[in-house]
C-alpha cells in the first residue's frame, strides 16, 4: 500500500470509538453465581453494533492483556486465540472466534504510529487474547468483521497512549471501529467486597465527569487519572493495564465528545463503558 493515510477505497461515515468492559475471563460463556451476574453487560455488548451509523469495515481493538516495550499490531491474516485465563471450565478453552485479521490495516496502523513519533511494529504471529475474543464473540458473533489488535506500551504512560490514539483517529473516517477493551474498575481484591462499593462509585463518578468533559480538558484529566479519588484503590500501582485502553480511545476520539453508555454494579463494584462520537 503506497499511501499509508488511506486504508479504504472511499470515505465512509465516521465511526464512534468505545471503551468497553470485557468481564472476568470467559464469564459470558459459563455458569456463574448468581446466574445473571453478567447478563446486562452481555446485553450491552450484543447490542453495540446496532448503535453504529454503519457496519464497520474493520475493528482495531486495544486490550489490557497485551503489553509490549513498544506498540505492536497483529498482522496475522488468521489470528489464533490465546487462552490467557486460568482455572475455568474445560469447555471455555474450546471457544472459537475465527475473525480474519487484515495485514494491510495492521501495516497502516503501525505506519501512522511511527509517523506520530511512536515506535511500532507489526507482529505476524500474535493471536487474539481473551480481552479481544471474549467481548467480540458478543459484539460480532459471526466473526465476520476483520479485527486487528494493538498492544499497550508496557510503561502504561497515559499521555503516550493518548498520543497513540490521536495517531489513529482518522481511521474512524474510513469505516474502522476503534475499541478499548478493559475494565473501569480492576482491583482483584475489591470484587465481591462491599467495602469497595462506595470506593468504586466515587472513582466512577470522577471518570465519567472526565470522559464527558471538553476534549482538551478530558485528555488532561485522563492523563492525570492517578489524582482521582480512590484511583489506586480501583487500579493498583502497576496494574492499571485495564484502564489504559481508555486513554487510546480518548486520543482517537479527537474532538468527539464522550458519554457513559453502560454502567452497573457487579460483584459489589461499579463498572462502566464509554462512547465517543
Query: What is the mean predicted confidence (pLDDT) over 49-77?
Result: 98
pLDDT score of 12: 67
User: Which residue ranges form the domains of the chain, and what is each CATH number?
Assistant: 17-276 (3.40.830.10)
Query: What is the mean predicted confidence (pLDDT) over 42-54?
Result: 98
User: What is the Cβ-side half-sphere exposure of residue 234, based on CA atoms within 13 angstroms?
Assistant: 30
User: What pTM was computed for the model?
Assistant: 0.95
Give the long-range contacts of residues 81-84, CB within 8 A, separation 24 or more: 81/127, 81/128, 81/130, 81/133, 82/127, 82/128, 82/129, 82/130, 83/130, 84/129, 84/130
Residue 182 pLDDT greater than 50, yes or no: yes
Cell of 255: 474532538
140-155 pLDDT, tens digit each? 999 999 999 999 999 9
Cell of 19: 471503551
Amino acid at each position: 500500500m503506497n499511501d499509508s493515510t488511506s486504508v479504504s477505497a472511499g470515505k465512509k461515515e465516521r465511526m464512534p470509538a468505545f471503551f468497553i468492559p470485557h468481564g472476568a475471563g470467559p464469564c459470558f460463556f459459563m455458569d456463574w453465581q448468581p446466574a445473571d451476574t453478567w447478563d446486562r453487560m452481555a446485553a450491552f455488548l450484543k447490542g453495540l453494533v446496532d448503535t453504529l451509523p454503519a457496519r464497520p469495515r474493520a475493528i482495531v481493538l486495544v486490550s489490557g492483556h497485551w503489553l509490549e516495550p513498544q506498540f505492536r499490531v497483529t498482522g496475522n491474516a488468521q489470528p489464533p486465540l490465546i487462552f490467557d485465563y486460568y482455572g475455568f471450565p474445560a469447555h471455555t478453552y474450546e471457544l472459537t472466534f475465527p475473525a480474519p485479521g487484515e495485514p494491510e490495516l495492521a501495516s497502516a496502523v503501525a505506519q501512522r504510529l511511527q509517523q506520530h513519533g511512536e515506535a511500532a511494529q507489526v507482529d505476524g504471529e500474535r493471536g487474539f487474547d481473551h480481552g479481544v475474543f471474549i467481548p467480540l464473540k458478543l459484539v460480532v458473533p459471526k466473526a465476520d468483521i476483520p479485527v486487528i489488535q494493538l498492544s499497550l506500551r508496557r510503561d502504561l504512560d497515559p499521555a503516550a497512549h493518548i498520543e497513540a490514539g490521536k495517531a489513529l483517529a482518522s481511521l474512524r473516517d474510513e469505516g474502522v471501529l476503534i475499541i478499548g477493551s478493559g475494565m473501569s474498575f480492576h482491583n482483584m481484591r475489591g470484587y465481591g467486597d462491599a467495602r469497595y462499593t462506595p470506593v468504586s462509585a466515587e472513582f466512577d463518578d470522577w471518570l465519567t465527569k472526565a470522559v464527558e468533559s471538553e476534549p482538551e480538558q478530558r485528555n488532561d484529566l485522563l492523563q492525570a487519572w492517578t489524582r482521582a479519588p480512590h484511583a489506586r484503590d480501583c487500579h493498583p500501582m502497576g496494574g492499571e493495564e485495564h484502564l489504559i485502553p481508555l486513554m487510546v480511545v480518548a486520543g482517537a476520539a479527537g474532538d468527539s465528545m464522550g458519554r457513559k453508555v453502560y454502567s452497573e454494579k457487579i460483584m459489589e463494584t461499579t463498572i462502566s463503558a464509554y462512547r465517543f462520537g
